[in-house]
Each structure stands twice: as structure tokens, then as C-alpha cells.
Amino acid sequence: MSKPFDYTIAVGGEAGQGMLTLGLLLTKSLLKAGYYVSTLQSYQSRIRGGHNYFQVRVSSEPIHSMISRIDILVALDKNTLQLHCDELTADSVVLYNQERMQTAEVCGATLGLEISKLYPAAKSKEVLANSIYLGVLAALMQCPLSAMKSVITRTLAKKGEDIIRQNYAALDAGWEYLETQLAWKEKYLAPVPAKAQASLTVHGNQAIALGAMAAGCKFYSAYPMTPSTGVMETMAQFMDQTGVVVEQAEDEIAALNMVLGATYAGTRAMTGTSGGGFALMVETVSLTGIIECPAVIVNSQRPGPATGLPTRTEQADLEMAIYAGHGEFPKVVLSPGNHQDCFDLTRHAFNLADEYQIPVIVLTDQYLADWFTNVKPFDLSQVGIKRGKIVIPDSDYIRYQITEDGISPRGIPGKGEGVVIVDSDEHTEDGHLTEDLDVRVQMNEKRLRKMEALKQHMLMPEVIGEGDECALVCWGSSYGPCLDVVRALQARGGAISLIYFKQVWPLDETRISSLLSGYKKLILVEGNATGQLGHVLRGSTSICIENAIHRYDGKPFLFDELQEQVAVRLEVK
């Protein structure tokens, strides 16, 4: 049996140095070769300069999070050495171009490459140096060159055969150089996976877009806003194959109003944004509530207030999403924590929106949006489309018919003889404006009756582990780090479980109370400062989770750091 291994490789430099391409080529190659991979992207909101880095954690065992240690650092500039020095260990190695920079004294070993001697063309075309680094890393990781060349071919296909050939040559030069460095090979060599695992190379935004297209979404309107833009880019990429129409709106207000126009006409539609853009949409979210028009909204969170840290991650929009919109009306908030759930919950969001004629918010964040890891091919046979009470309106059709479950038959304009009236004012059953207060009460109660069914059919939290001693409670992208911590502690005999909320609103108070009260100790893990899920749980169940772990510095939870914090709280009586 091969010796277990777990390495983190980081590539750091200025924006514009090709760091992202190098990181993606490495990630895709390792995935293709069959390794378990997890990534972290950190970038600043600038085109050139600053400091960006791309981390790849590669393991012989399944992983769902990142760690704080860096084993191999590719430093494209001096700043990278200074900023990441504390993350290096005595066993780490730093790769750098010794023709361009001198290394300061750093922890671990340094391997300076004479880039122009290894591949002379890299002197005039500096970006080729990245393929040399890739070749060195491939040799260290025993990642087959065939896997890397296959990824290079696909990634650079539009640049032409000559560019691909040059990158092949640079890759070979890096590989061949390390083949002569036996000491390095023996120290860092990773075993070749026994068998490559079938997996997709997608990040969270792409998984959401694929879920939307699988659900039959035919219209996507958005204003570009980091970190949600990848959803729009993916939808646009597949316009020809799927028939989806992608519209870049002039602002977020227009984007959601366009979505309502499309769904009123019977088309499944979606928009995506981040916290600031979602704030602009709030009045229209309320409009969806009174006209009972389906809408799917992706809010990819980043730290606020205001512009905040536009390229970092946080989970601080939960309460805003739940309470967005003036007045009282039903909505659902879903919170995927991995790529499979990004796909499944987006699909589920469309079914809920159509069946209950409500807005459904899919709450993600920058870390999940940009995160690459092993993803099994999505099973399209499990994709079921539920359109709810859609009817062909006849001459007697009334749009807002009062029903026992609160859901009125939904007519599509132009599909029958009936007129489909919608009104942002309070209205009668047939859609005409009214100020009759008795009618107002009846219509408000009709809309709110949907909440009971939504609670009864809510997605219950996923529970991993047995026993009643202790459980970590999390939602969204905190799931991966929490899962790795729980499994690590369970492997040591720890009596701990994980409670992962995929749906954070609405909650079935009775079932959630029963679940949470079954544990002697609960530890809440959230990427915000105030414990927003804790507030929601307390308001719904009266259960107060006193032990909490928060992170709000713009970074995701890291496995080793989170494990230490959990261990401390487990010792608290």
C-alpha cells in the first residue's frame, strides 16, 4: 500500500503574471491523474500588481478543505516569499527564478531555476516559465506528463499549435531538470494513484450554472459582480448548446425585473449577484412576493459592509437573505456547501420557485464559487422538473384564486383565452387593485399559507455521525472544513457528529428542535462575526448555541486551525 501523503502547493505573484493559469493547469492535471484535490484562490481587485495566490492541496485521501501549511511554494515575485514565509515549514521547498530574484532566508529549502538556460524561449516570453514550473511540479508529484499535456492542449487550443508546442517544450524542460535532482525526488515524491477517479473539473459557480441549465433555465440576466460572475460566464458559454439567453443588464435592479418578466411569460429564469447587488434587488424581491412570480436568485457572498473586501469570502448575508423585502411573504433560502449541492440545490430552487410561486435564494460565497475539487459527474437521470399549478387560462381564469394551500393556478399569458393580470398593489382574486381591507387580509393569509407546506417539506439538515455527545452545526461552504474535522476526530475515537443545513429558511421548528436538543453539546461554525444561523435557530426553536467559532477576516475556515479550535471547545465542561 502506498504511503499516505498530503501536500499543499501554492503559486504566488502579481496579477498579470499568469499565476491563475498555472494554478488551473496544475489542478486540472492532478484531477485528471486521479489525485484528490482541493483549491483556494486569493486575488485582489486589480488587473496588474498587488499579491495574488492560488493554493492546491493534493492528497491520497478524500479532502474537502484547505490547511494553513505550504509544502511547495512557487514564488513568482519577492513579495510572495515575504507574505507566505510563516506558512512554510522545515520540510518546505521554494521554487523561484534565480535569474530574476534573490531569495531571502526562508524556512525550508530553496530550489532556484535558471529559467532561460532550461528553455531559452522563456527569456523573451516570460509566461513560458510557468510551464517550466509545471514540469518541475509534475516530476515532484509523479503526475504523468500525458495528463498535463492533455490539459494544456484543451486550455490553449484557441492560441494555436505553435503556442501549445512551446508550452510542451517548456514542460518537458522542467520535468527533465528535476529528473536529475535525485535528492528532491526522494524527499517530495508522491505516489501515483492506483486508478484515476472519474471527476469533473468545475468550480462552484459552474456547478450552479450546470444545475440551472439541467433544470430548464432558459434566461439568465445579471450585472457582473464578483464573485458571482462565473455563473453568467458559464451560462453564456453554453448558450448555443442549451438555448439559454444571457443578458448583461445595466444594473442589478434591472436584472431581477427582467427575470420576473421572463417567468411571467412562462420561462424559467435566474439572476446572480453578491451582497451589494442583492441589496439593490430587495424592492423587486418584495414585488415577487405580491405578484407571486417565481424567481431564482444566486447571492454569492463577500465581506461587507458596502464594497468591503470584494474578492474575499464571508457568510454574513444570511439574515439579509431571509428578511429581504418589505412586508410579509414566503421565500426559501438554500445554502449549498459543495459542488454536488450547488448542482442539486439550484435545480431544487427552480422546482420550489415554480411550485410555490415564490422567490428562492441560493446563498453561496467566494470560496465556494471559485473552489475546485473532485466532483463526480452529475447524474442527469435524477433531474426532475416540477412546474406546479401551471394552467392554460380560460375565459373564467382568476390569477390569485384563494386556495386551501395558498397556491393559485398559474396561467401563462398568451396560452389561452384568459387574461393573466398581475399587480404590485394589493389586489382581488382576479388581479385588480383593491383597498378593501377584508380582501387584504384574505390575500395576505393566502400567501402566507404556503409557509406551512414549505416547512413540512423542508430539506432537513444532513447529519454525519452517531451518538448524542457533541455536534458541529454549519451551513454553506463551512461544510467542507467541518466535515474533515469531524471525520478526523471520529477516526481518533471522538464522539462527534456534523449537522449541515442545506436549507436555512424556512425551518420546521418542531423537527429542528428535536434534532438539536438531542445533543449534549453543540458548536456553531460560521464565517461571520455575529453567529447569524445561531440567531435564526434561536428565533425558530428557542435553542441557544453558546459555543461558537467565527471567522470574518475574508478567508475560509482551514482544516488544521478549525480542528484546534474545536478541540479546545470539546474540553470545555
**In angstroms, rounded to a whole number, what is the distance separating the alpha carbons of residues 351 and 345?**
10
**In angstroms, rounded to a whole number, what is the distance separating the alpha carbons of residues 542 and 540?**
6
Which residues have C-beta within 8 Å of that of residue 299, sequence separation ≥ 6?
228, 272, 273, 274, 275, 278, 317, 321, 361, 362, 363, 364
Q: Taking the CA of residue 148 as centre, how many other CA atoms within 13 Å lie in the half-sphere pointing to its CB?
A: 29
Cell numbers placing 158: 484557441
Which residues have C-beta within 8 Å of that of residue 101, sequence separation ≥ 6?
75, 77, 78
Alpha helices (runs of H) in 334-436, residue ranges in sequence order: 339-356, 366-370
36 touches 63 (CB < 8 A) = yes
Same domain, 343 and 444: no
Point out the domain boundary residue: 126, 155, 188. 188
Same domain, 220 and 256: yes
User: Could you please report the per-residue DSSP string of 103-158?
Assistant: PPP-SSEEEEE-HHHH-GGGGT-GGGHHHHHHHHHHHHHT--HHHHHHHHHHHTGG
Same domain, 95 and 239: no
How many DSSP H helices and E strands does the chain contain?
A: 21, 20
Same domain, 40 and 172: yes
Q: How many CB atoms lie within 10 A of CB 238?
A: 14
Please state the domain count of the chain.
Answer: 4
Whether 199 maps to a domain, the answer reads: no
**In angstroms, rounded to a whole number, what is the distance separating the alpha carbons of residues 529 and 307?**
17
Q: Please give the residue range of the domain that contains residue 395.
A: 389-457
Query: Which single residue is written with the C-alpha cell 476526530?
Result: 489
Point out the domain boundary residue: 351, 382, 413. 382
Whether 523 maps to a domain, the answer reads: yes
Whether 196 maps to a domain, the answer reads: no
| CATH code, domain with 489 | 3.40.50.920
Same domain, 43 and 156: yes
Same domain, 348 and 433: no
In terms of Cβ atoms closer than 10 Å to its own Cβ (0-12, 13-18, 19+), residue 307 is exposed
Per-residue pLDDT of the chain in tens (573 residues, 90 and over written 9): 356 788 999 999 887 788 888 999 999 988 888 889 999 998 877 666 678 899 999 998 899 999 999 999 999 888 888 889 899 988 888 998 888 887 766 777 888 889 999 988 887 787 888 999 999 998 887 788 888 999 999 988 888 999 999 999 999 999 999 888 756 656 655 666 655 567 788 999 999 999 999 999 999 999 999 999 999 999 999 999 999 999 999 999 999 999 999 999 999 999 999 999 999 999 999 999 999 999 999 999 999 999 999 999 999 999 999 999 999 999 999 999 999 999 999 999 999 999 999 999 999 999 999 999 999 999 887 778 999 999 999 999 999 999 999 999 999 999 999 999 999 999 999 999 999 999 999 999 999 999 999 999 999 999 999 989 999 999 999 999 999 999 999 999 889 999 999 999 999 999 999 999 999 999 999 999 999 999 999 999 999 999 999 999 999 999 999 999 999 998 744
Cell numbers placing 268: 424559467
If you ran DSSP here, which 8-state letter would residue 399 be given?
T
Whether 198 maps to a domain, the answer reads: no
At residue 1, the pLDDT reads: 37
Same domain, 423 and 318: no
Same domain, 345 and 421: no
Whether 254 maps to a domain, the answer reads: yes
Q: How many CB atoms lie within 10 A of CB 535?
A: 14
Residue from 525, 519, 534 nearest 562 by CA: 525
**In angstroms, rounded to a whole number, what is the distance separating the alpha carbons of residues 368 and 313?**
9
| CATH code, domain with 259 | 3.40.50.970
Separation in Å, CA 508 to CA 336, 458, 460: 19, 7, 9
Same domain, 351 and 219: yes
Whether 193 maps to a domain, the answer reads: no
Whether 195 maps to a domain, the answer reads: no
Q: Nearest 5°: phi and psi at 234?
A: -70, -40
**In angstroms, rounded to a whole number, what is the distance separating the alpha carbons of residues 11 and 134?**
11
Residue from 443, 410, 402 nearest 424 by CA: 443
Same domain, 285 and 166: no
Same domain, 172 and 59: yes
Whether 518 maps to a domain, the answer reads: yes
If you ran DSSP here, which 8-state letter would residue 192 be given?
P
Task: Please list the residues that pair with 15 across neighbouring strands.
Answer: 49
Q: How many CB atoms lie within 10 A of CB 127?
A: 16
Same domain, 339 and 436: no
* Cα 276–chain centre separation: 18
Point out the domain boundary residue: 441, 457, 473. 457
